[in-house]
Structure 1
Amino acid sequence: MNNICGLVTLVGSSNVGKSTLLNRILGHKISITSRHRLTTRKQIIGIKTTGTIQTIYLDTPGVIKKDYKKNNQIWINAIKIADCVIFVIDRMSWNIEEQLLFQHIKKINISIIIVINKIDWIKNKQSLLPWFKTLYEKIKCSEIIPISAKLGIGIKELESLIISHLPNNNHCFPAYQKTDQNKSFLIAELIREKIINKLHSEIPYFINVKLEKIINTLKILHIYALIIVKRNSQKNIILGIIKKICIESRVAIEKIFNKKIMLKVWVKVK
């Protein structure tokens, strides 16, 4: 039997649930999620291997109109190298961001699957039928699938559809590998996720997390992390919630690595 291996790029406007969808497909967390915009800041690679089938997913930062020209190169490059594009939209929303994305994608000869996410939020499911018709007429795309990434609704059907677009190819990664990101990156992102979810939406998300040191003993993983902000006012805000950030981060990291975590965090203005 031939091996199947292909690259799938997830695109969409900010906060439509791309990272939640990726984590759901993979069955574990590799991309942080938040109710706030601009959570994902770089391209994240997730890998799922089942028997002879290997699917490589690229989770891209959300597109918003004001940053379209500045930050579009990441998802443009990711689309160019993909075998299939998963275009995620939030329920029955089609705004300027979606239009900008679709206008670019349709110029490239590539398979597109429109994913209508968060259908668990739609009380009247019958309203989806006229919305399907509107989308068909708008974008002339025959592959539209409703899902709930949060609840796992429609995920198996979506994966089957994705696999149908992947080429016969040798696998690019070992079967055990789940992501291209290293341990330090994943831990730093988990801490950053907890910070974002504790902050108000008006706080800028240029806050960074840097791991100073990781000591892995037989029973405990010791982590020393530095939260980097740009202003003293931001430092004071972080210090006010530092205890909650540490507790929630430790719990999240323990779930990922299945090991007791000792976490020490500092905040620095830079």
Structure 2
Amino acid sequence: MSKSRSGHKPATPGMVYGAPGAGYSGHISLITSLALIALWFLVTGAGWVRPLFLPSPLAVYDKFVFAMTEGVANSTLTEHAMASLSRVFGAFFLACLTAIPVGILMGVNRYARGIFDPPIEFYRPLPPLAYLPLIIIWFGIGEFPKILLIYLAIFAPMAIAARAGVRSVSIEQIHAAYAMGGSRVQIVWHVILKAAMPEIFTGMRIGIGVGWTTLVAAEMVAADRGLGFMVLNAAQFLASDTVIMGIIVIGVFAFAFDLLVRHLEKFVIPWKGRV
């Protein structure tokens, strides 16, 4: 394929001006991350900010090693991480088992939409801290209220995404399937569900992100270990190195799972973006 007169490669066939945002951006993200870390070293090394407010990267790393070996807040970092992972992923898988079917049902049935839509839309904008006291009053301070709080935060975006995926299915596809003799169950399973999968995966990514942001609020309920509990405990003693270390660990776990969902999405729905 020859180059254009201006020296640039011609657009991909079918894309006269190229797709908006197309192209690899991983190297840009890497450079941005390295620049931010270098800025962190510069600001703390030059003493522009007191260590109480922003400890150096080396201090945070030393705290990470100490937390892995000696432990902080009466548990090692591994024990804190395992407690948080069990809560977040337990709530996430429960949401997958319930929110996705509810969302699909809302998309294909007006009665289901009329039943589930009001409560979901009512509590969806509420911050988890708003209904945390009610959950404590109803269910106490055990492990179940923590998982329930995270579950409720994840449920709404996943159900809404599944419903949006169903509503985005082309009516021509449905008519064509009916014309070929498909039953209602077959239409839902082979046409609607497959067409809604991109939106469902988007809802899963949003949901797990919301789950991690709700973790700190959930671990305010009489927790004795967990990453959110560790951060809250360290904040009471102004241990900013532990706070930043905990934030970084939470962010790494959240980002790793998001990457996992992305790769799973490419495997399950390889046609996304091509049709």
Same fold (TM over 0.5): no
Q: Which is bigger in relative contact order (C-alpha 8 A, separation at least 6)?
A: 2
TM-score by length of structure 2 reads 0.24
TM-score by length of structure 1 reads 0.25
Normalized per residue, which structure has more strand? 1
Normalized per residue, which structure has more helix? 2
